[in-house]
DNA sequence: CTCTTATTATTAAGCCACTAAATTTAACGT
DNA sequence: ACGTTAAATTTAGTGGCTTAATAATAAGAG
């Protein structure tokens, strides 16, 4: 059955808000040009946003003659959104303002082997701490975006995967966090969130893919400004595509999965078979920490570590070429904790391989970039989801008086 | 720059027309339920379609009490659309009626090494022949859909690829065919067209991928009823993803491309290195003919041919798993001339591998099917594109008098 | 200083696609 | 004949946009 009801188009006010954030200072005329709508419509959209207190006029543009353009800007402190991204090994919490700027950030402990209830209560506490630290009044906080790995039911706010432990499957993540904090909670795939987080930045394209590496590998595709969500609203499972046809079986059932070869678990697993490497780098902590240690060693010339990272790079390049060939995007952005420290090492390798292997490269080039803040992008993106949801569901805000 | 103007939503009349075709005989109440819109809206939509002559009332449903539902049906002969799909080796022309039924079909010669002008003139002649054969009046023909391989600019109606020969690049395909026939022409990617063609059939899902194999391998993804088109409106380049990390370089720049291993060119290329196979199967004709001969031989127990086809199957399965993992679709449909004869051999292998390797299989199953008419699906889909374009662009038809 | 010109912003009127609610139509049972 | 029930239609709106007219604002010309 086809679904007709859901209108995937971004409502005008939301689009205008995004544009104002993107351009920082902008006139109504420019907004009209950028959206393809009329100036009259921009008058209305800007008026709505002003009535919400989200934007204000900040002056006039110089012009040779004629009425000068009146410039509008966001009022960053008009609202705040919380974003939390976590997986087994690591977690990041942020509070962003309306302009998308990170006001507070905290590294948080990953979920580890704990029960979801315990983890959520810790994060709920972190939300309080962060808001207090920046002395942000609760009524200005629109909600919390929660970015996690794996298949999920965004509507219900639950994970569909039994990882890290069976307790997580169907556990009411969104509902419990909402209860514990008193704030609305939206669930989002971490790689997709990273895509949204990257999109919020200044020179963001509207067609790109994020390759996300933290505990595992995933991808988020933003196409024509909208996140791609398959049939069941999930992320793009880049980590479980085969990059070694005769590779070992992965727990997912597939052979030679990218995650097993290029991901932190795969690289660390390889390293743990090498005694000298273990003692030299002091391995044996959690997977991500070990992976970062290996990466640092490779960057500073450790030959054995280099071999491991090279393998990881090469296979990630294969997968990224596949991703680009299938989705036909013009840019790839690297994000996630695993890229935070030496993402540029991966970047160069990817760019080189893409330049010679992407099918569409003669029609358009494909650029690889590192996210502005690789480790925070998913949390920031999750926080942005809150705002988007709000603006896309009509009637949440009082319509301004005419 | 983000684009806001384009509304990706299918207009109501188009959606209603599709539903009527899908259900054959249907009441306004059912249409309202299926679309999620009100009965009043269905009254209007059906009235418009009746004013166009596209649907008519055919009777009333029995009901215990209350006003009986008035049933509407398509008027199949209200309009006709032409579809032509071609590549280097093969081509198919069809005329379909409004109900999507194939009224005429013709096998046509592929483009071969000829100049585009010559090929187009031949196809233009075929259009005339087909329309005459079914004695279809010209004014009832809405237009021609042209499905071809490779990167293309659908807006301009030109190919962006210099294949089969450099003459094709930027050659005004749509414009010239339009001139030669006097009918509007829409260009479409062949794999995407196959998706649209499959979708038109009775039990079509709204989320699926088509794996298309004719001269080469491609894919079309239909998500939420709409074809996925990347940043540059192209198909999903399944044929050029790597399925053998250390495989030979392909002309596209990538290594171990699916097309080189599983595609007709790859399989035939392998076969041509085997003298006994060549003479036994009488190879040496064009690539697709040879491939079909090898497939038939494998099906009837030729051991050497079986090895080749098995390799092809296995690697196609790897690529299909990748496709499903990345796009998260619930169904895969096989289409294209190469599957027309022994597609079921591929189907079983794919289903088996997908069942044990797709990441989301615990959340939802993935079914593999053969298209109803594998060889014709792209041409039929191309023909449907004409109708869609017409209904989605407003003001093409006179608004019915109230 | 006033008038013209160029440009931007706002308002007014209206269109389009849809909805909600009231009304009409068509069958049935008593 | 009369009520009951359900479907279809009409009516009157609504929301989000457009076009076209109008108002505001500044630079430069005279």
Nearest CA in chain A to B15: A4
User: Are A73 and A46 contacting, i.e. CB atoms less than 8 angstroms apart?
Assistant: no
Mean pLDDT, range A340-369, rounded to an integer: 91
Residue A361 pLDDT grade (very low, low, confident, very high; cuts 50, 70, 90):
confident
For residue B400, the model assigns a pLDDT of 31
Q: Which of 3.20.20.30, 3.30.420.40, 3.30.930.10, 3.90.550.10 is the CATH number of B205-370?
A: 3.30.420.40
- pLDDT tens track for B28-55: 999 998 888 888 889 988 988 998 899 9
Residue A350 pLDDT grade (very low, low, confident, very high; cuts 50, 70, 90):
very high
Topology (CATH level 3) of domain B6-74: Arc Repressor Mutant, subunit A (1.10.10)
- pLDDT tens track for B241-280: 999 999 999 999 999 999 999 999 999 999 999 899 999 9
Looking only at the bridges linking them, the beta strands covering A226-227 and A80-86 are unpaired
* Contact check, Cβ <8 Å, A328/B254: no
The Cα–Cα gap between A171 and A150 comes to 14
- Specify which residue's alpha carbon is closest to the C1' of nucleotide D10: B40
Across the interface, which of A6, A225, A327 has its CB nearest the CB of B2? A225
Is the CB of B328 inside 8 Å of chain A's CB atoms? yes
For residue B393, the model assigns a pLDDT of 65
SS3 per residue for B196-246: HHHHCCCCCCCCEEEEEECCCEEEEEEECCEECCCCCCCCECHHHCECCCC
More confident residue, B254 or B7: B254
User: Are A51 and A16 contacting, i.e. CB atoms less than 8 angstroms apart?
Assistant: no
Residue B72 pLDDT grade (very low, low, confident, very high; cuts 50, 70, 90):
very high
The per-residue pLDDT of chain A, averaged, comes to 89
Domains A78-196+378-392 and A205-370 share a fold: yes
Is the CB of A353 inside 8 Å of chain B's CB atoms? no
User: Are B56 and B72 contacting, i.e. CB atoms less than 8 angstroms apart?
Assistant: yes
Looking only at the bridges linking them, the beta strands covering A141-148 and A185-189 are parallel
More confident residue, B164 or A313: A313
CB pairs under 8 A between A and B: 199
Is the CB of B201 inside 8 Å of chain A's CB atoms? no
> Nearest 5°: phi and psi at A212?
-115, 125
% of chain A with per-residue pLDDT over 90: 67
Residues 219-248 of A with CB under 8 A from B: 219, 223-225, 228-232, 234, 236-238, 240-245
Which CATH code is given to the segment(s) B78-196+378-392? 3.30.420.40
Chain C nucleotides close to protein (CB under 7 A) are: 5-12, 16-21, 25-29
% of chain B with per-residue pLDDT over 70: 95
Nearest CA in chain A to B243: A245
Residue A399 pLDDT exceeds 60: no
- pLDDT tens track for A202-223: 677 789 999 999 989 999 999 9
Across the interface, which of B3, B206, B240 has its CB nearest the CB of A325? B240
Nearest to A378 by CA among A342, A338, A324, A344: A338
For residue B36, the model assigns a pLDDT of 86
* Chain A residues touching B237 at Cβ < 8 A: 325-326, 328, 359-360
For residue B381, the model assigns a pLDDT of 96
Min mean pLDDT across A34-38, A97-101, B180-184, B392-396 is at B392-396
Residues 96-155 of A with CB under 8 A from B: 151
* Chain B residues touching A12 at Cβ < 8 A: 4
Mean pLDDT, range A84-90, rounded to an integer: 94
For residue B155, the model assigns a pLDDT of 87
The Cα–Cα gap between B327 and A74 comes to 36
- Measuring from the CA of residue B40 to each C1' atom, give the nucleotide at the shortest distance: D9
Which residues, by CB, come closer than 7 Å to strand D? A 11-12, 36-38, 40-41, 44-45, 60, 62-68, 394; B 27-29, 39-40, 43-44, 46-47, 63, 65-70
Residue B8 pLDDT exceeds 50: no
- pLDDT tens track for A233-256: 778 999 999 999 999 999 999 999
Mean pLDDT, range B385-398, rounded to an integer: 70
% of chain A with per-residue pLDDT over 70: 94
pTM: 0.91
The per-residue pLDDT of chain B, averaged, comes to 89
For residue A8, the model assigns a pLDDT of 38
Is the CB of B361 inside 8 Å of chain A's CB atoms? yes
Is the CB of A4 inside 8 Å of chain B's CB atoms? yes
For residue A315, the model assigns a pLDDT of 97
- Which residue ranges make up each domain of chain B? 6-74, 78-196+378-392, 205-370
Chain D nucleotides close to protein (CB under 7 A) are: 3-11, 15-21, 23-28
Across the interface, which of B8, B15, B322 has its CB nearest the CB of A242? B322
Q: What is residue A317's three-state secondary structure?
A: helix
DSSP A27: E
């Amino acid at each position: 059955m086809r679904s007709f009801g859901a209108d995937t188009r971004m409502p005008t006010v939301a689009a205008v808000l995004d544009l104002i954030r993107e351009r920082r200072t902008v006139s109504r005329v420019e907004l009209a040009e950028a959206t393809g709508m009329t100036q009259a419509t921009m008058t209305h959209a800007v008026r709505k946003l002003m009535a919400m207190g989200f934007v204000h006029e900040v002056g006039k543009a110089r012009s040779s003659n004629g009425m000068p353009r009146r410039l509008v800007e966001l009022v960053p402190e008009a609202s705040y959104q919380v974003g939390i991204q976590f997986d087994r090994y690591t977690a990041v919490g942020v509070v962003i303002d309306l302009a998308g700027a990170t006001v507070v950030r905290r590294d948080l402990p990953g979920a580890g082997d704990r029960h979801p209830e315990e983890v959520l209560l810790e994060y709920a506490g972190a939300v309080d701490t962060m808001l207090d630290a920046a002395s942000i009044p609760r009524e200005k906080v629109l909600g919390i975006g929660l970015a996690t790995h794996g298949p999920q039911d965004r509507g219900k706010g639950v994970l569909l995967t039994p990882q890290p432990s069976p307790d997580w499957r169907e556990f009411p993540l969104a509902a419990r966090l909402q209860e514990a904090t008193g704030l609305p909670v939206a669930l989002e795939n971490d790689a997709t969130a990273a895509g949204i987080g990257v999109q919020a930045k200044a020179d963001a394209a509207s067609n790109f893919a994020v390759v996300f590496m933290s505990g595992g590998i995933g991808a988020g595709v933003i196409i024509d400004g909208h996140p791609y969500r398959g049939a069941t609203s999930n992320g793009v499972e880049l980590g479980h595509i085969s990059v070694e046809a005769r590779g070992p079986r992965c727990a997912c059932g597939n052979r030679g999965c990218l995650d097993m070869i290029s991901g932190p678990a795969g690289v660390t697993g390889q390293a743990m078979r090498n005694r000298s490497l273990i003692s030299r780098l002091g391995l044996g902590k959690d997977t991500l920490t070990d992976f970062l240690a290996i990466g640092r060693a490779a960057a500073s010339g450790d030959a054995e570590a280099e071999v491991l990272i090279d393998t990881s790079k090469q296979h990630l390049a294969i997968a990224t070429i596949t991703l680009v060939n299938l989705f036909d995007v013009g840019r790839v952005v690297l994000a996630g904790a695993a890229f935070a420290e030496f993402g540029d090492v991966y970047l160069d390798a990817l760019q080189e391989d893409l330049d010679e292997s992407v099918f569409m490269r003669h029609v358009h080039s494909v650029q690889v970039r590192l996210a502005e803040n690789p480790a925070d992008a998913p949390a920031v993106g999750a926080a942005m989801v809150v705002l988007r949801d709000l603006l896309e569901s009509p009637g949440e805000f009082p319509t301004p008086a005419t």
